[in-house]
Amino acid sequence: MYTIFGKHWHHMPQEEVLHVLGTDREKGLDLFEIQNRQEHFGPNVLKGKKGKSPLVRFLLQFHQPLIYILLGAAAVTAIFKAAVDAAVIFIVVLVNAIIGFVQEAKAVQAIEALAKTVTTQATVVRAGQKISVPSDEIVPGDVVLLQSGDKVPADLRLIEINNLQTDEASLTGESLPVQKNPEELPDNTLLANRTNMAFASSLVTYGQAKGIVVATAEKTEVGRISELLATTEELQTPLTRKIAQFSHLLLYWIMGLTVATFIIGLLRKQELVETFVAAVALAVAAIPEGLPAVVTITLAIGVHRMAKRGSLIRKLPAVETLGSTTVVCSDKTGTLTENQMTVTEVYSQNESIALTGTGYNPEGEARSADKKMEVSGHPNLQEIFLCGLLCNDSRLLSEDGQWKAQGDPTEVALIAAARKAGLSEEQVNASRPRLHTIPFESQHQYMAVLVEEKKSGKQTIYVKGAVEKLLERSKLDSKRREQILSAQNRMAQKGLRVLAFARKELSGSQAELSHGAIEQGLQFLGLQGMIDPPRKEAIDAVKVCHHAGIMVKMITGDHAITAQAIAEQLGLSGSSVPLRAISGADLEKMSDQELINNVEEISVFARVTPEQKLRIVEALQARKHVVAMTGDGVNDAPALKKADIGIAMGITGTEVAKEAADMILTDDNFSTIEKAIEEGRGVFDNLIKFISWILPTNLGQGLVILAAIIANVPLPILPVQILWINMTTALFLGLPLAFENKEPGLMNRMPRRPDESFLNGVLIFRLFVVGFLLLAGAFGIYELALLMGANLQEARTVSVGVFTFGQMFYLFNCRSFDLSMRAVGYFSNPWVWIGSGLMILFHVLFTYLRPMNALFHSHPMGLAGWLKCIAVGLVVFSVVGIEKKIRYNLRTNRKKA
């Protein structure tokens, strides 16, 4: 019935648009037709996406290879009628699942947030009547009336315009309001340049217009982004990938050793029950049961630390992902820049004057030749600022210590500049009341006001506008004209938006102002150049990122010249590499492979669409980069979700961007990203410290079981005792590593390669050294205890003590990868001492408390047993300490050489 979607509305003449949509420009749609279209097209809202239920999210906590092994071990143990042991194993699994479920990030609600952005009231013409209706009742063909302050309810083809300007920053990335024009455009016009269209969710900042609805709901441009967001796959983070790879590798080793243990037992003709128990013991021994819980808690601690530094983490693995980031793709407007237009240069009487200060804050000064200028001593310069203040319909307000714009950002920048020059709006407007105004119109490209000085009664016309328009109306010789055009070109090359200012004194008096009055005879005053400047802290943050081996790329919907100028000020390409920028049109011509080949060398992507942002992120990921994407607009949401980590702005960011992101910056400060990356690297370091601490225990336990099978002796430790060791030591000894301070020179390292394994060669060597020391200590002291007349339970209790104290002393080695305990600071992390004290207390309970003896098959032991356990711990501490010292000396000698 209705075949209207997929049309190039910007390319069609107005009458054809009206014909295709079956509507009338004056009367709109009839009431019955509206009902038919509402039934056919449905409501003008974006549909949400259903997430996983709480039950499914909880069950997914058990969907891990290592958990499957533990559940299998519990089942085998239960079959052999060891119900208590089976229950202990299952409780451990359940506790891990509960921790993971509680800490897991909530389902993404980005589609619901998008729906909120289009829920508003709209003024329409229906059956010849002007009425207000909810935006969700809008249908294609509706005639919509827009005025300043409105949110556009659907995609419109504009047919009548009165100085309409719209803010499309959240959709296209354009930092300035877009001047609209109803004329048809070429078919290949980019989205950001379709000036005869008004898009859903954009804001009207100035003027009025009439438009025809051409798309609603998912068919709008913001709706297409919604679909992109819904279909964009969320990637696994580097941490989850490494944990998964590590788990699978460990799974194969455990299965292989378990099968080997079982076969060895059968070949030795041991009883079937004993063989199964040994196999289960080996499986339980080799699994780091505390790993999932400690990883989750360590990340949660990282979340808390980051919150103190201005970063809110919505998804736990994002903490570590930041530490692995190799590329930061940043939106320009409001992220790298202030999102506040600022006059930075003034041209007056063939002299360029710099204006200090950034943003709307009216603090700053005029400087010439790096010296402060008193504006009051330069009448022409003062007139330029005065003209910018008088030709102005906007306001600059201070709210809660923040300077806020009310109106056009360009005009607000002129107000801030005038205040820096010592002018006050109240005094100026009071002394020179406005008599008449010619508002800015796109066909004329200037605004003019007629004012009258109260004291003298003299009338003056002040004009601001495009340079070429004011030049052709001014009294200038050719030399002066060339000087002005040269100054304009120089300012434009810096990415500045340049406005010209002029005046005309009237000899008599008049009540109205006409275009004819300023056709000629203007006195040209000068130029003001403005730009949305880079944040000072962003410049420093970019330098730190480069120093840490992290590339920073600007992806923006703004113009290429402006974007490139900002990028050069930020130093995006580094000091030794020329900056390379391309536009969305150039990007469109590139194949996927060409983009992949060139993406690393390109620093600026300008005038890009949401789909192109996704392509850029995917191209970087194809080059094996870990990509962090920052942004604040609706147009950023799909790329935020696709990136390894999405970072949204907390103050200026749209709800869509926040809901799609993994992390939110509470202060909208790019430099906060650098702090978050540092915290992320610290968190990853602490996770590696924990893994390098816990694995030797699992290796030692597995080797003890294997040695017992090969030697055909009773197991030195039982499955439930292994679980007791693993869970208590992980909680009391391993967890304090999460509170370790960051290693020196953390931000001087290159990012970790995405495919790099958890453990390097040094840590793997240390793993086997400690594992074999624990094997020798536990098995040797177990056999010694039996030889000295101890019963089996007491000998096993001593063996448990060896692992407990061995891990406790090894903990102090693991506080730093390379530094000694003295260099780290004995009490720089008090939690390791608190945890060690609690571990000793619980081991005392394990040894002497009767219920614990019954539950874990332990037995009280004498002083000699305790001393043997401590001795093994001291040996482990000393051997690792000596190894670290030798490596440190070798590295120091190599540097000297």
Report the alpha-carbon angle 798-804-807, nearest 5.
Answer: 140
Reduced 3-state DSSP string for 70-136: HHHHHHHHHHCCCHHHHHHHHHHHHHHHHHHHHHCCCCCCHHHHHHHHCCCEEEEEECCEEEEEEHH
Instruction: Answer for the pair 610, 631: CB distance below 8 angstroms, yes or no.
Output: no
Could you give the CA distance from residue 452 to residue 547 in angstroms, rounded to a whole number? 58
Residue 308 host element (H or E):
helix 291-308
The structure tokens listed for 837 are 């004290």
Residues labelled as active-site residues:
331
The DSSP letter of residue 579 is -
DSSP assigned state of 792: H
Q: For residue 424, count other CB atoms closer than 10 A to its CB.
A: 12
Burial class (CB in 10 A: 0-12, 13-18, 19+), 742: middle
Other Cβ atoms closer than 10 A to 601: 10
How far is CA 74 from each of CA 61, 88, 175, 291, 742, rounded to the nearest angstrom?
A: 17, 8, 61, 18, 39
3-state helix, strand, coil in the chain (%, to 5): 55, 15, 30
Tokens linked to 59: 């069950």
Give CA–CA dist 766/696, Å, rounded.
8
CA diameter of the chain: 123
CB atoms within 10 A of CB 733: 27
Half-sphere exposure of 218 (CA within 13 A, CB side): 13
The token pair at 608 is 């890009």
Are the beta carbons of 38 and 139 closer than 8 angstroms?
yes
d(CA 459, CA 456): 9
**Cβ(876)–Cβ(774) below 8 Å:** yes
Residue keyed to tokens 């556009």: 152
Q: Which residues of 306-317 are buried (b: 16+ CB within 10 A; e: fewer)?
A: beeebbebbbbb
Find the angle CA(66)-CA(72)-CA(77) to the nearest 5 degrees. Answer: 130
Residue 609, token pair as written in the block: 């669409």
182: DSSP letter: -
Under a CB-based contact definition with an 8 Å cutoff, are residues 392 and 378 in contact?
Answer: no
* CA end-to-end span of the chain: 83
Comparing C-alpha atoms, which of 207, 173, 210 is closest to residue 190?
173
The span from the CA of 562 to the CA of 495, in Å, is 4
Distance CA 652, CA 146 (A): 24
Give the rounded distance of the alpha carbon of 658 from its chain centre.
9
Between CA 844 and CA 822 the distance in angstroms is 29
Residue 421: DSSP 8-state: T
Q: Are 429 and 462 in contact (CB under 8 A)?
A: no
Instruction: Give the three-state DSSP class for 394.
Output: coil
Residue type, 320: E
- What is the spatial distance between Cα 81 and Cα 9, in angstroms, rounded to a whole number? 75
The rounded distance, in Å, linking the Cα atoms of 314 and 476 is 61
Nearest alpha-carbon partner for 792 in 844, 859, 864: 859
